[in-house]
Amino acid sequence: MQSAKIPLPYFDILLEHINLGDAAVQKTFGRHVHWGYWENPWKADGSVDDFAAAAEQLTQRVYAAANVKEGDRVLDAGCGFGGTIASLNENFSNLNLVGLNIDPRQLERARQEVQPHGNNQIEFVEGDACQLPFADASFDVVLAVECIFHFPSRADFFHEARRVLRPGGRFAICDFVPLPVFNPIRRLLTNKVVSAVEDTYGRVNSECTLADYRKLATDSGFTLTLKEDITGKTLPTYPVIRRLFEQLDKPDSAQATAEVELVSRLGLLRYLILGFTR
């Protein structure tokens, strides 16, 4: 079932179970494939319905950071199963929405699941976020929801995002951002921990600090306009995902998720929403 151009083991697992009609997987990750956002994390009840609602909240917070408005042309880079495009389609009208993904299997599901309404137009395009197949200055908004850590180069993606945005265009992302002190600590971690995470989540680079993001923005011609640290609001995600992997008989993936949970709970790995303008 592996046909993505880059290995994405967790998508192999998700697609296998979605195609088998697994209701828990469909509810948890059939639309959004990212962490949840709980305004009141202590009220999280651990259910898949509660998680799906929180995942929708996270998406809405990211596109709010880009101030999407009627009439915009919006690119969602690394669009997964099209959940962010679906949410924009449900909440706005007169948008031109483009979802881009490197994995044609995900795009196939997105095309099946997301139908335009409210005078919106929707297109799903196969491609690499670091080589965007779009004209210069052709979008008002670029989004990248919890995916930039997979891209071959953040710098290339920032340059591409700036190129395809019109002057004044808005760019918003969310990402796992380490405290500077965590990077040297992480290099001391055993290969076993590192490869457990890669065996589940594929190639992940989560070494980009906030200072690195500020430099990326400056170097590529963006101004950082919003920085929201939502780490605490995302933490109820971890038990849900760990339990799901255990139910799917993937104990190594549950363990890899627990490693990420630990450094998040220790505050070493932050979850940030960042907004930029061109």
- Interaction mask 165-204, ligand SAM, x per CB under 6 A: ----------------------------------------
Six token digits for residue 264:
């998040």
Smallest gap, in angstroms, from Cβ of residue 212 to ligand SAM?
19
Stretch in the footprint of ligand SAM (CB under 6 A) among 140-148, 183-191, 228-236, 269-277: 140-148
Distance CA 115, CA 117 (A): 7
Q: How far is the CB of 65 from ligand SAM (least distance, A)?
A: 14
**Nearest to ligand SAM of 145, 260 (CB atom):** 145
Query: Which single residue brings its beta carbon nearest to ligand SAM?
Result: 80
**Cα 9 off chain centre by:** 16
48/56 Cα distance (integer angstroms) = 12
Please state the separation of Cα 150 from the chain's center in Å. Answer: 10
Indicate whether 103 belongs to the interface with ligand SAM (CB under 6 A): yes
Q: Does 159 bind ligand SAM (CB under 6 A)?
A: no
Q: How many helices (H) and strands (E) does the chain have?
A: 12, 7
Q: Considering the complex, state which of residue 80 and residue 169 has its C-beta at the smaller distance from ligand SAM.
A: 80
Q: Which residues in 60-99 contact ligand SAM (CB under 6 A)?
A: 77-80, 83-84
Q: Select the residue interacting with ligand SAM from 25, 28, 34, 88 (CB under 6 A).
A: 34
Cβ-Cβ contacts under 8 Å for 266 (sequence gap 6 or more): none
* 253 scored as a contact of ligand SAM (CB under 6 A): no
> What is the rounded CA–CA span in Å between residue 45 and residue 49?
9
Q: Which amino acid is at 36?
A: G
Tokens for 42?
A: 């202590």
The number of residues that bind ligand SAM (CB under 6 A) is 25
